[in-house]
Structure 1
């Protein structure tokens, strides 16, 4: 069985990374 805490943390990290990448790309574009 998966550890909910670990799963949530990994998901949060993934979303944070995606948001950071989007911000970087948006800033670069304009």
Structure 2
């Protein structure tokens, strides 16, 4: 069970990073509008 949880975390980590970076870019753009 723990191995499956770790595997899912490793899979979701890149998506979370991309999501956070996209939110940061959107906030950065909205600040300069």
Same fold at TM > 0.5: yes
Query: What TM-score do you get using the length of structure 1 for normalisation?
Result: 0.74
RMSD of aligned alpha carbons:
0.9
What runs of 5+ residues in structure 2 fail to find an aligned partner? 1-6
How many residues align? The count is 27
Higher helix share: 2
TM-score by length of 2: 0.69
Off by >3 Å, runs of 4+ in structure 1: none
Structure 1 spans left out of the alignment, 5+ residues? none
